Amino acid sequence: MSRRARTLSTVGESALIERIARRTGLASTKRWRLGIGDDAAILKPKPGFDLVLSSDAQVEGVHFRWGRETPRVVGRRALAVNLSDLAAMGAAPTGCLLSLAAPGDFELDVFDGIVAGFVFESKRYACPLVGGNLTRADRCSLHVTVVGEVPRGAALLRGRLRAGDELFVTGVLGAAALARRKADEGGTALTRVPVPRVAAGQRLVRSKATSACIDLSDGLATDLAHLLEGSGCGAEVDLGRIPTPRGFERGCREVGLDPIEAMLTGGEDYELLFARRPPGGREPSPGWERALGVGVTHIGDVVSQAGISGLPALKACGHHF
Amino acid sequence: MSRRARTLSTVGESALIERIARRTGLASTKRWRLGIGDDAAILKPKPGFDLVLSSDAQVEGVHFRWGRETPRVVGRRALAVNLSDLAAMGAAPTGCLLSLAAPGDFELDVFDGIVAGFVFESKRYACPLVGGNLTRADRCSLHVTVVGEVPRGAALLRGRLRAGDELFVTGVLGAAALARRKADEGGTALTRVPVPRVAAGQRLVRSKATSACIDLSDGLATDLAHLLEGSGCGAEVDLGRIPTPRGFERGCREVGLDPIEAMLTGGEDYELLFARRPPGGREPSPGWERALGVGVTHIGDVVSQAGISGLPALKACGHHF
């Protein structure tokens, strides 16, 4: 064996699939009749539950750059952003497929790092990697499909909110934009992986008070507009209430980032934005917030007049067209 | 509006999703509680059925080239090769997700052509496009996930065959390799789209005689080895029986292609290769072949001794590593 780094081409597809399968473990589980290794994976659906399916991708040069991120972080993030979509529907993760593209001279160590990160995240959120695809391409990209389950008919959809609903976000906003900028400016590795609010989503789906939910991938300004779509309602947001990380303003100043812009349009925070019907007449029950397992902040309200007030006009960010 | 071709960047993501949704039609159907438009799609599973999931990709410069294929053919093939994986499990298509990557300056007309081809195929095989993702990338690629259903526990797996089983293929082999070479040599468009054997797969799954099945994506030589994996068995193939298209040898000669190589390792024929237990003692029932709705050919048999005999040693083709 030469001392030069081994590449995907020298190892070959079958051996690469083997490497993945060794990390994922069992080919069949209580829920999956069959995982990696055949033409397709086979799921035993759970009676009384709907299946929730979503896809999202991470592309080299667009979502990540090898100088800036480690392979492990790239692998972890590829699954985390998908799990966030399940969380936004209130679904519990059931499994995932990874369609991975990379050049033939891609280093095996980098491949292994990506897979290790992906499988780490998959075990953490009980979302087994059950299948997918490997293909050659000029640049690396990870296209992931996640499958989740939600009690029949209960998924948290957009647009179902009503005037009077209260708007909440989990966690803090702007952290992702700041971390990205710091990595770019400081030449250090971007180590931040978003935390998909999987448990919180499942608790929200069990509460009749939750009227709609979305995850914040593009930023509050854009995603709030999506949440309102089809409802005929608008929103009043209190800018001063939007939660940011400790030391956020100073951190932004140090790297020349506008904190308002970072927090509203920076995107990639993957927190949940949801609407909640306040309990009519009765006192609000403070317990529900604690039960979510993550801090939530009341940032505004749904109003009958269309449009969003309280937010400055800003250009959306994003990896889109 | 300028006369210059519109691009994905000028149209923007929301409008692009709208364009897709207009073509796919209904956001909800009898089976899908929700299609395109939210964080995820929602499927109502069918009692008594397993779900089958598979991913496959088509990458510019690897699986297709813009000079050689039309956008419509690229879109059609991206779904067809995935449906072939469902067919190989004996599953009926339920729906699909498309994760599409393309540059910002990608022409809108090409995008529309890809989507039109994809949706055409999706309607043809009753496999609605229910979700997915759009992202920027240097080059175009289509990563597809298909969902199918198969009666509980009945999916056609690999490796379950036994010595004495008979090996069959549907259709003819080598057609894809010949069409590809002709397009390359003649500078004409490659218009061939594989026909996924979706109906045949579903009929095979209903027959207790079917012991294993795989689709021929890489070529008979490679895929037969996959089919045998884990069974401890081998196969004896009769090279002379392998069915090829009419005028195949002459066609191969004209473009300098070795017919044996094209037929065995050309790949991309997407026919089914399956093993069938011959009816013990009784006469074979000729009816089963007709019921498949596609011609089948008995090309060899499963034997107890490992390895494949009857095929010349050839290097596998493929888009893999």
Helix (H/G/I), strand (E/B), else coil: A179: helix
Residue written as tokens 């207009």? B22
Buried b / exposed e along B217-253 (16+ C-beta atoms within 10 A): bbbbbbbbbbbbeebebbbbbeeeebbbbeebeebbe
Cβ within 8 Å of A, B 218-277? none
Task: Check if B56 contacts A (Cβ < 8 Å).
Answer: yes
Q: Which residue of A has its CA nearest to B46?
A: A45
Size of interface A-B (CB pairs under 8 A): 222
Which residues of A are less than 8 Å from B12 in CB distance? 320-321
Task: Check if B317 contacts A (Cβ < 8 Å).
Answer: no
User: A38 — phi, psi (to 5°)?
Assistant: -115, -165
| B148/A40 CB distance under 8 A | yes
Give the global pTM: 0.94
Is the Cβ–Cβ distance between B202 and B170 less than 8 Å?
no
Is the Cβ–Cβ distance between B8 and B104 less than 8 Å?
yes
pLDDT of B315: 67
Task: Check if A127 contacts B (Cβ < 8 Å).
Answer: no
Task: Check if A16 contacts B (Cβ < 8 Å).
Answer: yes
Q: Which residue of A has its CA nearest to B85?
A: A39
Helix (H/G/I), strand (E/B), else coil: A52: strand
How close B177 gets to chain A, by Cα (Å)?
19
CB-nearest partner of A39 from B54, B134, B145: B54
Q: What is the pLDDT of residues B193-209, one digit of tens each?
A: 999 999 999 999 999 99
Q: Which residue of B has its CA nearest to A43?
A: B51
Between A84 and B288, name the one with better pLDDT: A84
- Encode chain A (321 residues) as per-residue pLDDT tens digits: 456 789 999 999 989 999 999 999 877 788 999 999 888 999 999 999 999 999 999 999 999 999 889 999 999 999 999 999 999 999 999 999 999 999 999 999 999 999 999 999 999 999 999 999 999 999 999 999 999 999 999 999 887 899 999 999 999 999 999 999 999 888 788 889 999 999 999 999 999 999 999 999 999 999 999 999 989 999 999 999 999 999 999 999 999 999 999 999 989 999 999 999 987 755 566 788 888 999 999 999 999 999 999 999 876 655 667
pLDDT of B319: 63
- Say whether the ipTM exceeds 0.85: yes
Helix (H/G/I), strand (E/B), else coil: B58: strand
Q: Which residue of B has its CA nearest to A216?
A: B39
Is the Cβ–Cβ distance between B223 and B217 less than 8 Å?
yes
CB-nearest partner of B135 from A57, A86, A132: A57
User: If pLDDT is split at 50, 70 and 90, which confidence band does B1 have?
Assistant: very low
| B54/A138 CB distance under 8 A | no
Task: Check if B34 contacts A (Cβ < 8 Å).
Answer: yes
Distance CA A31, CA A92 (A): 13
Which residues of B are less than 8 Å from A88 in CB distance? 39-40
* Token pair of A120 as six digits: 């780490």
Task: Check if B104 contacts A (Cβ < 8 Å).
Answer: yes
pLDDT of B130: 96
The answer to whether residue B28 scores a pLDDT higher than 80 is: no
- Burial label, B210 (beta-carbon count in 10 A; 0-12, 13-18, 19+): buried
Q: What is the pLDDT of residues B111-164, one digit of tens each?
A: 999 999 999 999 999 999 999 999 999 999 999 999 999 999 999 988 789 999
Task: Check if A91 contacts B (Cβ < 8 Å).
Answer: yes
Torsion sign (Cα): A313, A300, A274, A98: positive
Q: Which residue of B has its CA nearest to A321?
A: B9
HEC readout, A97-147:
EEEEEECCCCEHHHHHHHHHHHHHHHHHCCCCEEEEEEEECCCCEEEEEEE
| B52/A59 CB distance under 8 A | no
| B57/A16 CB distance under 8 A | no
CB-nearest partner of A56 from B13, B133, B150: B133
**E-assigned strand segments in B77-217:** 92-102, 129-136, 141-151, 166-170, 210-215
| A52/B42 CB distance under 8 A | yes
Closest to B80 (Cα-Cα) out of B107, B119, B46: B119
Distance CA B63, CA B318 (A): 9
* Token pair of A166 as six digits: 């209260």
Q: What is the pLDDT of residues B236-250, one digit of tens each?
A: 999 999 999 999 999
How close A179 gets to chain B, by Cα (Å)?
22
